A = this chain, B = another copy of it.
């Protein structure tokens, strides 16, 4: 997939993963499998999570302090919720070796530069990145080596970033199986607001609305969820801390995009109220084409119903044996 894979030489001597949730543990798997570093240093403040990472044999050394993992690392990747980046950057800055690269995997990018850059000394390179990949599961058990394969990773080098450091981060993600796109942090935050942040927000919101209705019981919502609701519950089961931080750290783009969403929804509401079937039909026709395109470029499966019927039927058949 990438020349680095077959060179026999790892890209980095030591990679430090600060935070070992879904993305951190997936990185640990792929770094190990593809030999991208000689040493994987793992840090997390949670003793239980660190113990679990050790049981899973995710790294080569395990640290409660981010500084201990980051010391002597060639590449430090922040894999924690975005809200604690500033604190971590401040902590690890003094121990970073000259030439070290600091990157991350956060779903917002403008805030990363704001939080981390002020702590970086000369000769240390900040190159933020965001692998657009994930599942609804979290924690060190959730990771798997193929999470990034054929997914996009967006790299957002700050102005004046060292080209060699940018190349190293781009090469790293290509070695993980990702396609890489470079853009500004500001544009990233706009793109992700519509493709990820607002979808999560309205998924969380409708699940909350459903739980709070008095006219329909929660057990009815659960029972009859196959009519569409259950599709939303997947992303509404994503990690709460991570998503709280995403919304707090991409406020402007989220509020702007949410305004557009609500405006469009008001138009649909009006069309329903006044019985304007043509307006509804026109929108419902347009939206089909977009799904087709997503399937065509390999970012989605064309299996009806995400293949769920097959799986559930199999389960039923098994149970009736």
Contact = CB atoms under 8 A, between A and B. Distances in A.
Contacts of A297: 222-223
B132 A224 contact: yes
Contact of A149 (B190, B204, B303, B312): B312
Contacts of A232: 199, 231-232
A235 B228 contact: yes
A56 interface: no
Interface string A48-89: 000000000000000000000000000000000001000000
Interface string A245-257: 1011001001101
Interface in A216-256: 216, 218, 220-238, 240-241, 243-245, 247-248, 251, 254-255
17 contacts: A135-B305, A152-B224, A152-B226, A194-B209, A195-B227, A203-B287, A206-B261, A207-B286, A209-B261, A222-B297, A237-B291, A237-B292, A241-B281, A243-B284, A248-B275, A248-B280, A262-B262
A238 to B, nearest CB: 8
Given A133-B226, A205-B261, A237 B298 contact: no
Contact of A300 (B1, B144, B215, B233): B233
Interface stretch (A11-19, A157-165, A266-274): A266-274
A194 B213 contact: yes
A228 B200 contact: yes
Contact of A313 (B146, B224, B268): B146
A136 B287 CA distance: 12
Most B CB within 10 A of own CB, among A199, A245, A261, A303: A199
B205 A224 contact: no
A46 interface: no
A151 B272 CA distance: 29
Report the copy number of this chain in the oligomer.
2
Contacts of A200: 228
Contact of A291 (B209, B236, B306): B236
Interface residues of A, number: 118
A290 interface: yes
A306 B234 contact: yes
Given A247-B272, A247-B280, A132 B233 contact: no
A192 interface: yes
Interface in A290-313: 290-294, 297-301, 303-309, 311-313
Contacts of A303: 311
Most B CB within 10 A of own CB, among A231, A297, A313, A315: A231
Contacts of A197: 228
A309 B147 contact: yes
A211 interface: yes
A154 interface: yes
A98 interface: no
A196 interface: yes
A269 B264 contact: no
A258 interface: yes
